[in-house]
Structure 1
C-alpha cells in the first residue's frame, strides 16, 4: 500500500477483499456472507489435512498480489510463508492448504471484478471550477482531484453510496458576520495559530496522508505514509492481540473492520464530490493571510466531510461492538513512521481524536469533522446491526 501510494478509498478496497478471502477460509458456515451485496455464497470448509493459518494467509496474500499495482512484490513473502510451513506439514497438508487458499482467493477475485472499480479509468476526469467556495487544487503539488467517481464502486453492506448523506455543509460566505467566516474559516485559522504541543502531536499522529510531497529546490520528494484505513487496520491488530482472540476470531475481526472502512470511504467520497467544498488553505491564503500554512499538507480532494472522521467513527463503532466500550489500548501504529505511541481508553476516544486532528492540522473545517463523526457512526451502527442481528 505504502509503496504504491494508494489513495485512502482504494486502500480500503484492497484491505477489504484481501481480508474477505482470509475469512472465507476460516468460516465454516455462512457467517455474515449473506449480508454482502452481490456476493455468491460459497463457503470453503477446511479440508481434513489443510492447515488453516497457512491457507488463510496464502489466500489473503494471493488476493493482494493480484489486485495491487506492485502486487508481484508479494511473491517473495508468499514463498517465505510456504517455506515456513514446509518442514512442519506433510506434503498432503501443504498441498491441500495451498489449494484451499487458492479457491478462496479466486472466488474473491471474481467478486471484485464486478464492483465497477475497473470502469473508473474510463470516466471523464474532474475539472475544478473557479466559482467561490468550490474545491481547487492545493499546494505544494497542486495534484488533481483523487477518485471523483468513487461513489460508483459497489458497497459491501450499505445499500447505496448516499445512504448516510450528512447534513449540508455551512454555506460558503466571505461576509465577516456569516457562520462560515466566523465559525468555520476563522476556527481553522485560529486553531492552527494557537496550537499547543499536545494538539500538534495529535495532528501529526493522525496525519495518514499518502500524498505528502516535499520540495528540495526543483525536486519533488514523496513522503510515503499509511492511509487512515491503514491506521485502523493497525489498531485492529493491536486489539486482537491484546484480547487474545483465537485465529478465526482475529481473521473475522479484520474482515469486518476492513469491509466497514471500505463502505465508509464510498459514503464519504459521495459527499465530497457533491458538496465539492473548498479547502481552508485556499480561502485563507487568498482572503486572509498569504503566508498561512496548515500544520498538515492538504490532501488532493474536496473538503466535506472529513474522510478520517467518517472512517474512524465507522471503524471504532465496529471495534466497540466486538471488544466493548472501555477497551484500553496503546496505539503504536505510527511508530514505524517516527511518531510516538499514544494511549487510548476506548476506540471512541481514538476516533474522536482522529476527527479533531483534522482541525488541528488545518485541513478541515469544524463542521466537516463533527458531521463526519455523525456520518461514520450512523454507517458503522447500520453495519453492526446488519451483521450481528441474527
Structure 2
C-alpha cells in the first residue's frame, strides 16, 4: 500500500513539474535570441534599410505564433494589409514560447547572408531548454512548428520586391552642382538607391510621408543653403567633448573605413535600427514585460523601422542632396573633415532622425512618456552606458548627433524628425484600430 501511495505521489509531482516547466515564462531568452541575429548582421555588414527588413521578418513569424496561442496578443494579420490573405496557418505548438524563440533564429538562418552562423545559436538555445528540464518531445514538436512558420514567412518575404533590387538600372550619381556624390575615404557607391520599391508593412506607400522640400542648393554666400553649410563647418571646428561623445555614441555606421597610406581597414558596427532594437530589449527587461508582450513590442518596433527606412530612402534618392563634406571641401575649406565618416547615400532627410523619432513615438505610446532607461548598446564598441529619461529624449539626441558628426544639415534633421513623427503617429493609429493598447 505504501509503495502504491509513493508511486501515486511521484506521478502527481512529476506531472505537476512538467506542467510548471511547460508554462514557465521564457522572457530571459528573448533578448539574447534577437541579439544573436544582430551579431550576424554586424558580421555581414548589412546596410541599415536591409537590417530593418531582416529584423521584421525574423520577428514576424514569432509574433504570429504567440498571437495564435494567446488572445491578448494581436495578430499581425490585423494591421498588415499585405499579410491578410497570406497563409500562416501552423499546428499549435506544445510550447509556443519555445516555438517563437526558435522561429526567430530559424528565419534568420534562412534569410540572412550568413544565416548558417545561427545554427550554433539554435543548438545553444535547445541545450539551455534541456538544462531547464523541458521534455524532449515538447522541444521537438515546438521546433517543428517554428520551422514550418519560418518557411511561410520566407514565402511572404519573397514577394516584397527585395529580389528585384539587383535587376534595377544601376544608379549613377549626378555630377551636377548640388547633388550627392560618393565621399572619402572609400568613395563607396550609393547604398540601396531603389529601396523605395520594397513593400511596406503598415504605411500605405513609400511616398505617403514625403517631407518638406530641402533648402535649395546655392553657391551664393548669402543664401540659406550656405548658412546651413557654414553651421556644419563652424560646429565641426569647435565641438565640445560632450558633442563629440554624442556623435560617436550614435554613429552606428556599418560602413566605417579607416585608411593609413595605401591600407584600408573596415570596422563593423551595429546599424541604427539594431541600436533601437536593443534599446527595446532593455526597456522590456526593465519593465518586466511578459514574454508575449516583449516579443510583440520587438516585432512592432522592427516593422516601424522597416517602414521608416522605406519612407526615408524614398526621399533620399528623390532629392539626392549633396553632403556637407562635399560642399565644404569644394567651397569653404578643402582640408576640412567631419568628425564621423559620411555614409554612402544622399543627405536628405536624416535617417537617424526619421527612424529614431518614429520608433520613439511608438515606444512612448506602448510604454509611457517618462520611461527612463540605461542604454548599454555601445559597450561592445568600447563606449560607456548612457542614461535617458525617455525614448523621445534618446531620439532627439540621436537626431542632433548627425549635426555634431558633420554629416547632416539642420533642415535634414528637423524635417526628418517631422517625417518620423508623422510615420510614428500613423503606425500608432493603425495599431489602435487593431486593438493594441499601451502595455506599461
Q: Same fold (TM over 0.5)?
A: yes
1:70 equivalent in alignment to 2:110? no
Select which of 401, 407, 429 maps to 1:357.
401
Select which of 353, 363, 380 maps to 1:336.
380
Give the superposed CA RMSD.
1.3
Following superposition, the deviation at residue 18 of structure 1 comes to: 0.4
Deviates more, 1:166-175 or 1:98-107: 98-107
Select which of 190, 198, 222 maps to 1:153.
198
Equivalence for 1:179: 224
Equivalence for 1:165: 210
Equivalence for 2:157: 112
Deviates more, 1:84-93 or 1:238-247: 84-93
Matched-pair contact (CA < 8 Å) for 1:25–1:46: no
Select which of 51, 54, 59 maps to 1:11.
51
CA distance in 2, matches of 1:123, 1:45: 36
Counterparts of 1:138-287 in structure 2 under 5 Å?
138-182=183-227, 184-287=228-331
How many residues end up aligned between the 2 structures?
A: 388
Following superposition, the deviation at residue 91 of structure 1 comes to: 2.9
Rg larger in structure: 2
CA distance in 1, matches of 2:137, 2:89: 18
Q: Secondary structure at the match of 2:348?
A: coil
CA distance in 2, matches of 1:112, 1:225: 26
Matched-pair contact (CA < 8 Å) for 1:24–1:44: no
Deviates more, 1:28-37 or 1:257-266: 28-37
Which structure dedicates a bigger proportion of its chain to helix? 2
TM-score relative to the length of structure 1: 0.97
Matched-pair contact (CA < 8 Å) for 2:63–2:75: no
Structure 1, gaps ≥5 residues long = none
CA distance in 2, matches of 1:36, 1:161: 15
Following superposition, the deviation at residue 27 of structure 1 comes to: 1.1
Matched-pair contact (CA < 8 Å) for 2:63–2:76: no
Matched-pair contact (CA < 8 Å) for 1:23–1:252: yes
Following superposition, the deviation at residue 137 of structure 1 comes to: 0.3
Following superposition, the deviation at residue 215 of structure 1 comes to: 1.4
Equivalence for 1:372: 416
Q: After the TM superposition, which segments of 4 or more aligned residues of structure 1 sit over 4 Å from their partners?
A: 41-46
Structure 2, gaps ≥5 residues long = 1-40, 436-440
CA distance in 2, matches of 1:155, 1:36: 9
CA distance in 2, matches of 1:327, 1:217: 47
